[in-house]
Structure 1
Amino acid sequence: MARFTGKVAIITGSSSGIGRATALLLASEGAKVTITGRDEGRLDESRKAILQAGVAKANVNAIVADVTSAQGQDLLISSTLKKFGRIDILINNAGANIPDPSGKTRVDCTIDNLQEMFKLNLQSVVEITQKARPHLAKSRGEIVNISSIGAGPSAQPQSVYYSSAKAALDQYSRCAAIDLISEGIRINVVQPGFVSTGFSTAARGLSSDESLKFYNGMGELPHCIPAGYCGQPDHLASVIAFLADRKASEYIVGQTIIADGGTSLVLGMHANFGQKK
């Protein structure tokens, strides 16, 4: 029997990248999944990828929703319960390093940009966790929050607000893990480094080819990614699935797994972003 047979998982930000890969992996291993994103076209691509892997249509719940809105959060919870009857796993993957519309960067970014960054990368996680909590308590469920090596301890001057929001997410996850383990709810964190998803290049306006070249180039630089190659969404999906599988990781509570090919150990990647002039 597949390891997630009988389990129901919500994966936010699953219309592309790590979220899509995670939803595909969990569904392929027996889970019934709610996938979600704001872009209907990309979300449908995720749905089709899951079905093409041999997953039954009845095991996929695709919901177009904005996780930063109360309506979007409520829809994810209610539609999952209506279709599947329970919630066992919550993967809080949705997040972004949102460019400041004013064009400002680093510590010059506006306060509006700060608030928007925290609303998506921290507040939405807190809110959906609160709403999923009673259902996860019933199932003695799992929460995996997706952070970033940008959270520290090394400084990230090129993404001050994003990194700060992810650092706050990490501490929230630790505190909530201790608070909720008595209810049987287990919370852990995954910190990705560079992953070839377009995440790090979207703000730069790079094309698909330029983005691929960027990630491949970073992977060839040992002072950036010692492993010698850039991570793929599947690499992170495997780590997330490990933490979502209680049989495999039940004694891990409130911890952070760094999956970055060694980047955070060498601290050399800043050289490729340039220094403030």
Structure 2
Amino acid sequence: MSVNYDFTGKVALITGSSSGIGAATAQLFAKSGANVVVTGRNADRVAKVAKQCTDLSPKQLTALEVVGDLTNDKDCDRLIETTVQTFGKLDILVNNVGFVQKAYVTKDDYFQIFQNIMTTNLNSVVYLTHKCVEHLAKTNGNIINISSIMSKKATANGSSPYHISKASLDMFTKCMAAELGPKHHIRVNSVNPGAVVTNFLTNTGLPKAMADKIYETVGCKYPVGRVGQPQDIANTVAFLVSDTAAGFLTGSIVVADGGHLAANVSLDRQTQICLKQLN
């Protein structure tokens, strides 16, 4: 049974919304009546998703397009200012932007890669949250951080910077829930996906055929019998934002992983070797 949410009158800003989970989330909010802000670094992809959101909107509300790099504080400021100037308020902040780059600690450029990942996956979230509080406090708003099950499970495959960034993000979620709830009436939660079919793996340099093989291999091991789709995570975000459905949830780390952690799923040896060759 599908669940229909009504976010009419809400303003939702979703970072990294030009593809994948972010795009699916923006589309779901638009379909549910919200004004949405689509943002990313690629203008063509931002425009494409924004049009899809407008087409899905019951009242054909025009999605706001903002192109920018969230590792740049000025771009973050412009994103927030443009959102509030256009819609007059902000109700929902979904911090979805993030990426992974493989690096073993013995690599010469390990620390630079670590800094790059932390700047995108954590620092941009902290900065945007810091800047958005004054607006979200006026609307008793919601913050959703898109984390990962890799915040909870260590690997030896050269992903330590990514693991660390997401573990830090989970703690930031909890701290902000405790800090922003009593005085500002803002709920803050995290969604931690397992494997989801996006361009996440191919962005690391992995050939699409190998990425598809990994999704197939992992999906067979998941208790639900498949890997996730972006819509699965978008549905979880919408649930958490709904005051009717989840008004008592804040500071929660909501795992949406198809049973990955429960079943202790791991990659087969051949897939691990292929991944290691990227380094």
CA distance in structure 2 between the aligned counterparts of 1:107 and 1:246, rounded to whole angstroms: 43
Change (3 A) 1:229 1:166: same
Give the corresponding residue for 1:90.
93
Give secondary structure in 1 for the equivalent of 2:54. Answer: helix
Residues 11 and 92, structure 2, Cα contact 8 Å, conserved in 1: yes
* Corresponding letter in the other structure for 2:223: P
Give the corresponding residue for 1:205.
206
2:189 matched to 1:188?
A: yes
Give the corresponding residue for 1:157.
156
Give secondary structure in 1 for the equivalent of 2:216. Answer: helix
2:241 matched to 1:244?
A: yes
Give the corresponding residue for 2:16.
13
Residues 226 and 262, structure 1, Cα contact 8 Å, conserved in 2: yes
Q: 1:267 aligns with which of 243, 261, 264?
A: 264
Q: 2:230 aligns with which of 224, 230, 233?
A: 233
2:114 matched to 1:75?
A: no
Residues 31 and 59, structure 1, Cα contact 8 Å, conserved in 2: no
* Corresponding letter in the other structure for 1:194: A
CA distance in structure 2 between the aligned counterparts of 1:69 and 1:10, rounded to whole angstroms: 17
Give the corresponding residue for 1:216.
216
* Corresponding letter in the other structure for 1:87: L
Percent identical pairs in the alignment equals 38
Q: CA deviation at 1:57?
A: 5.4
CA distance in structure 2 between the aligned counterparts of 1:170 and 1:201, rounded to whole angstroms: 25
2:22 matched to 1:30?
A: no
* Corresponding letter in the other structure for 1:106: Y
2:116 matched to 1:113?
A: no
CA distance in structure 2 between the aligned counterparts of 1:176 and 1:234, rounded to whole angstroms: 26
Q: CA deviation at 1:59?
A: 3.5
Give secondary structure in 2 for the equivalent of 1:91. Answer: strand
* Corresponding letter in the other structure for 1:108: T
Give the corresponding residue for 2:134.
134
Q: CA deviation at 1:137?
A: 0.4
Gaps of 5+ in 2: none
CA distance in structure 1 between the aligned counterparts of 2:49 and 2:235, rounded to whole angstroms: 17
Give the corresponding residue for 1:167.
167
Give the corresponding residue for 1:255.
252
TM-score by length of 2: 0.90
Q: CA deviation at 1:39?
A: 1.0
Q: CA deviation at 1:206?
A: 1.4
* Corresponding letter in the other structure for 1:242: F
* Corresponding letter in the other structure for 2:176: A
Q: CA deviation at 1:271?
A: 3.6
Give secondary structure in 2 for the equivalent of 1:177. Answer: helix
Residues 217 and 267, structure 2, Cα contact 8 Å, conserved in 1: no
Give the corresponding residue for 1:43.
46
CA distance in structure 1 between the aligned counterparts of 2:118 and 2:60, rounded to whole angstroms: 35
Change (3 A) 1:217 1:45: farther
Q: CA deviation at 1:211?
A: 3.4
Q: CA deviation at 1:51?
A: 2.5
Residues 30 and 57, structure 2, Cα contact 8 Å, conserved in 1: no
Q: How big is each residue's C-alpha offset from its partner over 1:131-167, in whole Å with a ceiling of 9 and x where there is no partner?
A: 0000000111000000000001x21222100010100
Give secondary structure in 2 for the equivalent of 1:36. Answer: strand
Q: CA deviation at 1:212?
A: 3.4
Residues 89 and 141, structure 1, Cα contact 8 Å, conserved in 2: yes
CA distance in structure 2 between the aligned counterparts of 1:131 and 1:58, rounded to whole angstroms: 26
Residues 5 and 242, structure 2, Cα contact 8 Å, conserved in 1: no
Q: CA deviation at 1:2?
A: 5.5
CA distance in structure 2 between the aligned counterparts of 1:269 and 1:210, rounded to whole angstroms: 16
Give secondary structure in 1 for the equivalent of 2:272. Answer: coil
Give secondary structure in 2 for the equivalent of 1:197. Answer: coil
Change (3 A) 1:55 1:97: farther
Q: CA RMSD in A?
A: 1.9
TM-score by length of 1: 0.91
Q: CA deviation at 1:71?
A: 1.2
* Corresponding letter in the other structure for 2:234: A
